[in-house]
Amino acid sequence: NAGVTQTPKFRVLKTGQSMTLLCAQDMNHEYMYWYRQDPGMGLRLIHYSVGEGTTAKGEVPDGYNVSRLKKQNFLLGLESAAPSQTSVYFCASSYRTGGPSFGPGTRLTVT
């Protein structure tokens, strides 16, 4: 049981480049989330999904897109990276009730 896994662990992008962060969970959770964590800001929700094929915007969705084609996977895309998107990105998943389980994070630097 691997829990929540994220790929890649680290990435450096130049401004304007695009990339996709991959998240997978093997706990059969219905809900999946993407958060970003910045110093002093806590965890902020970017997008979330309450089931396969559904996605919704969170608190800070601008500049990001997501897709959930399979129940176990949740992808986060950056179409044109900006320095303000330098952050640590966490994927999480949960059942309909209970606290989310988090992945190990992806450290992204945009120069």
Partner 1 sequence: QKEVEQDPGPLSVPEGAIVSLNCTYSNSAFQYFMWYRQYSRKGPELLMYTYSSGNKEDGRFTAQVDKSSKYISLFIRDSQPSDSATYLCAMSAWHSSASKIIFGSGTRLSIRP
Write out the residues near partner 1 by the rule CB under 8 A.
Answer: 4, 31, 33, 40-43, 45, 48-50, 56, 58, 90, 94, 96-105
Smallest distance, partner 1 to C-beta of residue 93, A: 10
Q: Which of 8, 19, 77, 15 is nearest to 47 (CA)?
A: 77
Considering the complex, what minimum distance in angstroms separates the CB of residue 59 from partner 1?
8
Q: What angle (nearest 5°) sits at the alpha carbon of residue 22, between those of residues 17 and 26?
A: 175
Q: Which is nearer to partner 1, 57 or 70 (CB)?
A: 57
Q: How far is the CB of 5 from partner 1 (least distance, A)?
A: 10
Distance CA 75, CA 82 (A): 19
Q: Which is nearer to partner 1, 13 or 92 (CB)?
A: 92
The CA distance from 16 to 29, in Å, is 34
Token couple for 26: 């093997």
